[in-house]
Amino acid sequence: MGFSVDMLRGDIGVVDHRLSRRSLINEFKRGRVNRDSVCDAHPELIRAARNLGEPTDTKCEICDETNVVLLTYVFGHGLPKHGRLVTERSEIAKLQRTGHEYAAYVVEVCPSCRWHHLLRVLPVVGRGSRRAAN
């Protein structure tokens, strides 16, 4: 699920990776980076993209055949080391009700060619956390 910055708490602490994404795509299109280097998503990421990803209207810029999907993984207190894939907005709201801070990683994935790129990292701030109090 690709959550908006506004939903998660303004733009404080957001890390946007669009410039590095654009640079990598440009290098691929110029022939400086081969397709195997950019289309190397782990099979579990592709499985999640096919079954749980949030569809977009954005065509994959590598294969130009399939629309990419968004996946959001959350990391933090009480979650598995590998994070948890969040598929419902209610899951984010539940995390916000805790006293802990989490980080949500939004990943763009093409289920066809296996392109993937981290788009942004967003804070998920619980109401009882120190950051929420400031």
Query: The pTM is what?
Result: 0.82
What residues contact residue 23 under an 8 Å CB cut-off, 6+ apart?
none
Question: Quick one: DSSP state of residue 26?
Answer: H
Could you tell me the two tokens for 103? Answer: 């980080």
pLDDT tens-place values along the chain, 134 residues long: 455 444 444 456 789 999 999 999 999 999 999 999 999 999 999 999 999 999 999 999 999 999 999 999 999 988 999 899 998 888 988 998 888 999 999 999 999 999 999 999 999 887 655 555 45
Bridge partner list, 122: 104
Residues 25 and 129: their CA atoms lie apart, in Å, by 38
Query: Cβ distance 5 to 122 under 8 Å?
Result: yes
